[in-house]
Amino acid sequence: MFKYLRSLPNSLGRINTPLHDLFKLLPKFLALMLLLLTNIAYAATQVPLGEKEGRDIKTKELDSIVQNISATAPPKVSGEKNDSATPVAPSVDLKEIAPAPVPTPELMPPSPPQSEQPGSTTSTKDEPAIPKTKAVAQAPFVFLGSIVPPATATRLAWSPKVTIAGLTTPTPVLVINGKNPGDTLCMTAAIHGDELNGVEIIRRVMYDIDPKKLTGKIIGVPIVNIKGFQRGSRYLSDRRDLNRNFPGDAKGSLAARIAHSLFNEVIAHCDALIDLHTGSLRRTNLLQVRADMSNPDVMKFTEGFDETVVVHSPGEPGMLRQAAVDAGIVAITLEAGESLRLQEKQVKLAVKSINSLLQRENMYSRMFSWGTPEPTYYRSQWIRANKGGILFSHIGLGDFIKKGGALGTVTDPITNESSEITSPIAGRVIGMAVNQVVMPGFAAYHLGIETPENCLATTDDNESTVPESESVKLQTIPTGECARK
Ligand SMILES: [Zn+2]
């Protein structure tokens, strides 16, 4: 197009010729103008196809992306603590309504490089290598590629980078870096994607904290299994249980890779961890801390949860809680209610329980009145239905049951035969099935058994009551004397 514009001055240069010459030239001039206008109109309607035009468009797109990043990314810190490559996370008031975090994995700061192992066909350059940070809160907190200054809260994003790159959904991570130095408390929820109460519990706890009054740091991952959450499913998209794959494996299954990423990028920063769960498979749980009471640090930690039953549970391999404890992090599970439901009562109790912990750990003070302490159950036992049919319970969560007490009735809908489920032991209902159709052998009631502290027993519990492998996991604990001493 530009060559036509350059030819125009040559034509206009003939304007000093005599008048008749001008008239002779007039058709040429008009033809030239027509050609010029045609070219301008043509150029205006065409998509550039040439290499140069293509580069111009790409450059514009990149400029646009960079402008977007600049608009959303935090400003560079000018202080001496910041290296020039790490952005400062924007300080936000978590109570304020905010747009969803938008950074895509491609735009997030790269993880430190990691050498590839021989024989590997998969790049490891995205695998995290962030060491455990024990920095005091008065210092800026370097986390997930950003700097969180003291006395601020922000929203960051963790991405396990295990899906199709262009379809990756970053998982929101809430961070509060307190004004005063102290340890880091982490909370995770919806590792099982259908367990909703914990999502709301984290929101209520974290959005009610003023960073200027906080000692230490709080990290919250409200929805760990975001794909399962979107599908209303307990499991990952490969049907694996994420909470059986910690601390994970960068070369392992999808679940192991996600677990590895979460563990190294987030959990490794924690000094203490509360992993929030609910009952699974249509069972509901009394608010309870599950903890390995044989670990002194964990045992001490459980004392901070006000009005919350504690159930001794050593956990099993692959659980986040156990992997965290193995890594030196004080970790417990907080169970509240049932899956696929949001239960106001359970949420309120759990929030109060966590707030009491923050008070006990001298992280955050409120005008807090302590309630009546709940017992620790060092043993627990599941009671099963022996016949199949429709289960209706006669008791509720938290009820105390005598030996031989009636728990529920199972009725065969075809034969009309009914049978009672009675308790072979005295105990307290800490978990139970909701009314439903059950098959023979179904674990219907979870009873906590009060025993002396030295009666630490391996319970038949696992993290979310009883999963598919229940027949293998369940053990019969002798009643009466301690099962193990
Ligand atoms: Zn769970």
The alpha carbon of 384 and the centre of ligand 1 are apart by a number of angstroms equal to: 21
Helix (H) or strand (E) holding 348, with range, is: helix 344-360
| Ligand 1 centroid – CA 20 distance (Å) | 96
255 Cβ contact list (under 8 Å, min separation 6): 236, 238, 240, 241, 242, 244, 245, 248
Per residue in 196-249, pLDDT tens? 999 999 999 999 999 999 999 999 999 999 999 999 999 998 889 999 999 999
Helices (H) and strands (E) in the chain, counts: 10, 19
pLDDT the model gives residue 447: 97
In this predicted model, what pLDDT tens digit does every residue of 341-350 receive, in sequence order?
A: 999 999 999 9
**Which of 169, 41, 50 shows the shortest CA–CA distance to 104?**
169
Q: What is the mean pLDDT of residues 165-186?
A: 90
pLDDT for 30: 60
Count the neighbouring beta carbons within 10 Å of the beta carbon of residue 215. 17
Q: Please report whether residue 19 resides in a domain.
A: yes
**Any domain includes 402:** yes
Q: Which residue has the higher pLDDT, 30 or 359?
A: 359
Encoded tokens for 262: 């979460």
- At 263, which CATH number? 3.40.630.10
Q: Look at residue 409 and tell me whether its pLDDT is greater than 60.
A: yes
Pick from 319, 325, 291: nearest CA to 305: 291
Same domain, 296 and 402: no
Residue 51 resides in a domain? no
CB-based contact 383:447 (threshold 8 Å): yes
My answer on whether 318 and 462 are in the same domain is no
Detail the DSSP E strand segments found in 139-240: 141-143, 146-148, 152-158, 171-177, 180-188, 215-221
Q: Does residue 371 form part of some domain?
A: no
If you measure from the C-alpha of residue 285 to the centroid of ligand 1, how many angstroms do you get, rounded to a whole number?
A: 11
* Same-domain status, 288 and 346: yes
Whole-number CA gyration radius for the chain = 32
Nearest-CA neighbor of 1 among 40, 27, 37?
40
Task: Supply 99's token pair.
Answer: 């747009």
Centre of ligand 1 from the C-alpha of residue 279, in Å: 7
Cβ-Cβ contacts under 8 Å for 230 (sequence gap 6 or more): 193
Shared-domain flag, residues 306 and 442: no
Residue 71 belongs to some domain of the structure: no
CA of 466 to the centre of ligand 1 (A): 10
Give the domain range for residue 108. 86-113+123-360
Tell me how far the alpha carbon of residue 407 lies from the centroid of ligand 1, in angstroms.
Answer: 25
3-state secondary structure of 420: strand
Strands (E), 423-476: 427-433, 436-438, 443-449
Q: Report if residue 8 sits inside a domain.
A: yes
Q: Compute, in angstroms, the gap from residue 462 CA to the centroid of ligand 1.
A: 10
Cα(188) to ligand 1 centroid in Å equals 11
Which residues share a beta bridge with 418?
Answer: 411
Question: Which of 111-115, 172-176, 325-329 is predicted with the least confidence, judged by mean pLDDT?
Answer: 111-115
Pairing of strands 146-148, 443-449: unpaired
Q: How far is the CA of 309 from the centre of ligand 1 (A)?
A: 17
pLDDT score, position 28 = 58
Residues comprising the chain, all counted: 485
> What token pair was written down for 57?
């468009």
Q: Which residues contact 372 (CB under 8 A, 6 or more apart)?
A: 307
- Give the residue carrying structure tokens 């950074």: 103
Q: How far is the CA of 389 from the centre of ligand 1 (A)?
A: 26
pLDDT value of position 41: 45
Number of domains in the chain: 3
296 and 257 share one domain: yes
Residues 171, 155: Cα–Cα separation, whole Å: 10
What is the 198 CA–ligand 1 centroid distance (Å)?
Answer: 10
Contact 14, 25 (CB under 8 A): yes
CA 468 to chain CA centroid, nearest Å: 24
For residue 246, the CA-to-ligand 1 centroid distance in Å is 14
* 74 CA to centre of ligand 1 in angstroms: 35
Calculate ∠ Cα 431-437-438, nearest 5°.
Answer: 65
In the chain, pLDDT over 90 holds for what percent of residues? 58
**pLDDT tens-place string over residues 12-38:** 333 444 445 555 555 555 655 555 554
pLDDT for the residue 18: 47
CATH of the domain at 443: 2.40.50.100
What are the distances in angstroms from CA 384 to CA 387, 412, 430, 435, 474?
A: 9, 16, 14, 14, 10
In the block, tokens 């980078």 appear at 161
Q: What is the pLDDT of residue 82?
A: 55
CA of 481 to the centre of ligand 1 (A): 31
Tokens of 283: 């069972």
Distance 464 CA to ligand 1 centre (A): 5
60 inside domain: no
Q: What is the mean pLDDT of the chain?
A: 78
Question: Is the pLDDT confidence value at 51 over 60?
Answer: no
Q: What pLDDT shows up at residue 454?
A: 60
Compute the distance from residue 227 Cα to the ligand 1 centre, in Å. 15
* C-alpha 280 – ligand 1 centre gap (Å): 7
Residues 128 and 179 both lie in one domain: yes
CA 398 to centroid of ligand 1, rounded, Å: 20
Q: Same domain for 219 and 134?
A: yes
Q: How far is the CA of 355 from the centre of ligand 1 (A)?
A: 21
Ligand 1 midpoint to CA 8 (Å): 77
Higher pLDDT, 78 or 446: 446
Query: Residues 292, 162: one domain?
Result: yes
33 and 158 within one domain:
no
Largest CA distance in the chain: 126
210 and 108 in a common domain: yes
Q: Which helix (H) or strand (E) holds 9?
A: helix 2-12
For residue 240, how far is its CA from the centre of ligand 1 (angstroms)?
13
Please give the pLDDT value at position 418: 96
Instruction: Note whether 187 and 294 are same-domain residues.
Output: yes
Is there a single domain that holds both residue 34 and residue 153?
Answer: no
The answer to whether position 351 is within a domain reads yes
